[in-house]
Amino acid sequence: MDQIVETRPRAEAESEQMQVVMLGIGDEVFALNTMLVREIIDPVPATRVAGARPYLPCVVNVRGNVIPLADLRSRFGMAKTAATADTRIVVLEIEIDRDPVLVGVVADKVHEVTQISRADAQPTPRVGMRWNPEFISFITKWRDEFVIVPNMERILS
Amino acid sequence: MTTLDPVEVFRQEASDLFEALEGALLDLGSRPDDRELIDTAFRALHTIKGSGAMFGFDKVAAFTHEFETAFDQVRKGEISVSKDLISVALSAKDYIRALIEAPEGTDSIIGDAILDELRRFVAPAAAVVPAEAPSAAAAAAVAPTAAAARSRGWQLHIEFDRDVLRNGSNPLDYLDDLRKLGTAFATARTEDVPLLDELEPELCFLKWDVTLNSDCDRAAIDDVFMFVQDEMVLSCEPLTDAGAEVETAIEAPAPVIAAPPLAPSAPEAAAPLRPEPEKPAAAPAKSKGDEQRRFDDKGLATVRVQAQRLDELMDRVGELVIAQARLSQLAATTDDISIKAIAEEIERLAAGLRDTTMGARMVPIGSLFGRFRRLVHDLSRDLGKPVDFVTSGEDTELDKTMIERLADPLVHLIRNAIDHGIEDTASRAAAGKTEIGRIEIAAIHSGAQVLVTVRDNGAGLNAARIRAKAEEQGLIQPGAVLSDDDVHQLLFQPGFSTAQTISTLSGRGVGMDVVKRTIDAMRGSIDISTQPGRGTTVTLRLPLTLAIIEGLLIRVGEGRYIIPLAAVEECAELSAEEERVRGRDFLNMRGDLVPFLRLRDLFDVAGQPDRHQKIIIASSGETRVGLIADQIIGSHQSVIKSLSKLHSDVTMFSGATILGDGSAALILDVAQLLAIGANVGDGKHLNEAA
């Protein structure tokens, strides 16, 4: 069964609280704003697109729409792994040039929906980062673990 | 969204009326004596005036009234239709349209100027009228009996359709109008009025007998009822001598007697109080027939639907077709007969629904052609080149989105044809051609394509001049070997223009490249053929619809792809011999060298190719390319899904579709592959040269 995540904007502004979905990709945990998430589905067969950029290698059929499937691993320099029983596709709606665009992101595991606070945000370290700092909105703490709040628009465009 | 703004409804209605009006006016140009056309134009004007006043477009009503008054003289035959009059009438029509669409942006000075001009045509009519009168007298002298019949008067039986009131007509107004023709004596006949509790207050049950004392002719009476003539039965008999005498006898008191029945409130108020139990048996049957006719006449059988809803419907149907394909696939793997039966049933229904929905989106191209008549009329006037504009195949249907997108390219092509194609009158005479040029626009179905042709009988393209210009602009190398077709395609290069002088219309070099781009975007193609001194024909080849294509499903490695079937010329097996020669990129297709592409290499597929490779020859116009795939699976009805914006950098695919198993398959962009194939060709030439 698909797990549908409700996108419920909890009056965020008031306390910098943000409702997020925790995704495990490789060894890292990413927190995605639930406002972006349309649905989370089981893996479906993907179609490779020849000539596409490496981080957007495939398209998939989601409810009659053909949407690109993004590979965050390649964007964050992680090795490819095979799908497991926990693998999910998280369908996001992001804005590219002010148009809403649907895109799927492969997650190795979807942990839970939770609240994080911007107040806990850690400054993104300028050095010692393997990743392009542009891809990261901020880093915060969740259960004593550092989680990355990615900037999806930057990552995908 | 469901509540329709009445003003919006009026605007839509008016825009239909404008189309009718413009069509009639333009037709009048070629058939100035056609009463039918004059009446159509007049009726359209009258309705615009009426509805305009009703919806608060007072300026529209006032202006249209003046226009109508002027045009009335045409209708009465007092002034004849001339080209100039039509031009003024067209600009008046444009002004009314502007008044309705953008009331703030219009200037009443323009309106006044147009009216002044209209009146100039009308004014001499006053002088004409008396001139006509003696001739009528002369006619009377020749045919005294006819004249006599005319002078006596008429006995009228007037029976309106029951729901005439619903359409906003008031029968009493018409009776009042009759009185303007002469003294009239009207009797209301109440035998059809039902019992009070059966009485439908919005229906008109009354009929009238009118004795009209007037020397008017039959046409004058018809004119009174012009706007309701479809909704009534009118019988007119000339008064017999005896009758006339009776009438003459009561002529003096007639207006007095006539007054009560014609008083606005009297008949309707009185009607319900006079029950009449019997209804004539014939009446219902007849009114049914009338209703049917009205349905046909007034287009009530059609419904306006927002285009967006049609698009949504098409999307849903597309998804249904995909879901159905998955069901069929599933059913094929089971032994359960009942599931198989349902799957088949649903397949049939889905196919039917798809065809119906596509049909609902189809619009005859004639609606587009109609717009160009005005364009041609104006251009031919501005450029001083008389042109006959001929259209054919107006019934050819195309997807509505394509019709919209075709408008601009066709405007460019028609402009070019008149501006560059058709020579001026002197040159035509010198070349021994008819003085009047000819532009033909035609549409026909040809398989899964529609061909739209714009043909002129002008001077034709001058290949040498195009070459010279292209060399000058650095588009081609001097002395390059080009076929005529290649030379013609240069016209579609951005910024290309051979016009010696830049006119207001063309010569700036924008346009033809836009045509090319629009047609390409619709997966169509453009062919040009020309005969020096005889004219040029531009043919646009277009797919029937943008939403669904007939595709050829192929397999390359693990991936499945769709090639639009319209582009597929033939399929063949790659012979073992051709297979072996790895270095060569050409096939010998019955003597023609065709460059080919190995899709496995192009798509970067790992692993070993299948043993028997297949070749698909794809073409567009004259260019061809062979595509080598592992397997040809078969034909596939492909619902086209555009690729995401994130994949806008992908060039080899024009879109995607969803296969029976629910996975996505990419649709090959044949134009791109042809371009890649052409590069292969160029490489070959270089190799040969080296």
Interval B255-287: pLDDT, tens: 444 444 444 444 444 444 444 444 444 444 444
Phi, psi of B664 (to 5 degrees): -90, 145
Residue A144 covered by a domain? yes
Alpha-carbon distances, residue B37 vs B34, B72, B307 (angstroms)? 6, 13, 31
Query: B372-543 has which fold?
Result: Heat Shock Protein 90 (3.30.565)
Q: Smallest Cβ distance to A50: which of B603, B645, B663?
A: B603
> Which whole number is the average pLDDT over B493-510?
54
**Placement of tokens 């008549």 in the chain:** B373
Instruction: Calculate how close chain B gets to A30, using CA atoms only, in Å.
Output: 22
Burial B344-364 (b: 16+ CB within 10 A, else e): eebbeebeebbeebbeebbbe
> Which whole number is the average pLDDT over B130-157?
50
**Residue B664 pLDDT exceeds 50:** yes
Measure CA B434 to chain center. 30
> What pLDDT, on a 0 to 100 scale, did the predictor assign at position B674?
81
Report the number of distinct structural domains present in chain A.
Answer: 1
> What pLDDT, on a 0 to 100 scale, did the predictor assign at position A92?
93
Percent of chain A predicted with pLDDT > 70: 87
Q: Are B258 and B184 in contact (CB under 8 A)?
A: yes
> Which whole number is the average pLDDT over B296-301?
52
Alpha-carbon distances, residue A85 vs A82, B183, B208, B662 (angstroms)? 10, 96, 86, 21
Residue A112 covered by a domain? yes
For chain B, how many helices (H) and strands (E)?
Answer: 23, 21
Contact B652 A50 (CB under 8 A): yes
Phi, psi of B74 (to 5 degrees): -65, -45
Contact B644 A103 (CB under 8 A): yes
The chain A residue lying nearest B641, using CA atoms, is: A66
Instruction: Calculate how close chain B gets to A68, using CA atoms only, in Å.
Output: 7
Q: pLDDT-derived band of residue B665, with 50, 70 and 90 as boundaries?
A: very high
Please give the Cα distance from B492 to B499 (Å, whole number): 14
Structural domain harbouring A82:
13-156
**Residue B455 pLDDT exceeds 70:** yes
- Say which residues have a Cβ less than 8 Å from residue B308's Cβ, sequence separation at least 6: none
Mean pLDDT lowest among B68-77, B148-157, B257-266, B546-555: B257-266
CATH architecture of B548-689: Roll (2.30)
The CATH number corresponding to B6-142 among 2.30.110.10, 3.40.50.300, 3.40.50.1820, 1.20.120.160 equals: 1.20.120.160
Q: Which of residues 73-102 of A touch B (CB under 8 A)?
A: 96-97, 99, 101-102
DSSP B232: E
Q: pLDDT-derived band of residue B182, with 50, 70 and 90 as boundaries?
A: confident
Pairing state between β B623-629 and B592-598: parallel
Mean pLDDT lowest among B15-19, B22-26, B665-669, B674-678: B674-678
The chain A residue lying nearest B645, using CA atoms, is: A101
> What pLDDT, on a 0 to 100 scale, did the predictor assign at position B300?
54
Percent of chain B predicted with pLDDT > 90: 5
Contacts of A69 in chain B (CB under 8 A): none
As a whole number of angstroms, the longest Cα–Cα distance in chain A is 46
Of B99 and B338, the one with more pLDDT: B338
CATH of the domain at A83: 2.40.50.180
**Residue A143, amino acid:** R
**Residue B221 pLDDT exceeds 90:** no
Instruction: Calculate how close chain B gets to A76, using CA atoms only, in Å.
Output: 18
Q: Pick from B597, B645, B651 the residue to mutate for testing the A interface (most A CBs within 10 Å).
A: B645
For A64, left (φ over 0), alpha (ψ -120 to 50), or beta? left
Interface residues from chain B to A (CB-CB < 8 Å): 315, 318-319, 322, 559, 602-604, 641, 643-647, 649-653, 656-658, 661-666
Measure CA B155 to chain center. 44
> What pLDDT, on a 0 to 100 scale, did the predictor assign at position A5?
47
**Residue B360 pLDDT exceeds 70:** yes
Residue B212's H or E segment, with its range, is: strand B207-213
Residue A5 covered by a domain? no
**Residue A131 pLDDT exceeds 90:** no
Sequence spans of domains, chain B: 6-142, 148-279, 314-363, 372-543, 548-689
Highest-pLDDT range among B48-57, B245-254, B660-669: B660-669
Pairing state between β A109-117 and A145-150: unpaired
Please report the beta strands in B130-177, taking only residues with DSSP state E, as ranges in sequence order. 154-160
Q: Are A16 and A5 in contact (CB under 8 A)?
A: no
Contact A51 B652 (CB under 8 A): yes
> What pLDDT, on a 0 to 100 scale, did the predictor assign at position B581?
59
Instruction: Calculate how close chain B gets to A11, using CA atoms only, in Å.
Output: 30
Q: Which of B408, B409, B374 is nearest to B391 (CA)?
A: B374
Q: Which of B519, B444, B449 is nearest to B671 (CA)?
A: B519
For residue range B545-603, what is the model confidence (pLDDT) as tens digits?
666 777 899 999 889 999 988 889 889 888 766 665 555 677 777 878 888 888 888 88
Q: Smallest Cβ distance to A96: which of B318, B646, B657?
A: B646
Quick check: do B6-142 and B372-543 share a fold? no
> What pLDDT, on a 0 to 100 scale, did the predictor assign at position A37?
93
Contacts of A65 in chain B (CB under 8 A): 641
Q: Which of B536, B544, B527, B367 is nearest to B440 (CA)?
A: B536
Q: Smallest Cβ distance to B663: which of A45, A68, A99?
A: A45
> Which whole number is the average pLDDT over B605-626?
84
Instruction: Calculate how close chain A gets to B571, using CA atoms only, in Å.
Output: 23
ipTM score for this prediction: 0.83
Whether chain B has a CB inside 8 Å of the CB on A61: the answer is yes
> What pLDDT, on a 0 to 100 scale, did the predictor assign at position B251?
42
Residue A2 covered by a domain? no
Long-range pairs, B215-219, Cβ under 8 A, ≥24: B215/B150, B215/B151, B215/B153, B215/B182, B216/B150, B216/B154, B216/B181, B216/B182, B217/B150, B218/B154
> Is B683 strand, coil or helix?
helix
Whether chain B has a CB inside 8 Å of the CB on A117: the answer is no
Contacts of A44 in chain B (CB under 8 A): 662-663
Contacts of A156 in chain B (CB under 8 A): 646
Residues of B classed as catalytic: 46, 68, 416
Instruction: Supply the CATH classification number for the domain B148-279.
Output: 3.30.70
**What count of other Cβ atoms lies within 10 Å of the Cβ of residue B150?**
18
> What pLDDT, on a 0 to 100 scale, did the predictor assign at position B685?
43
List the end-to-end C-alpha distance of chain B, in Å, as a whole number. Answer: 69
> What pLDDT, on a 0 to 100 scale, did the predictor assign at position B323?
80
Q: Count of CB contacts below 8 A, A vs B? A: 78
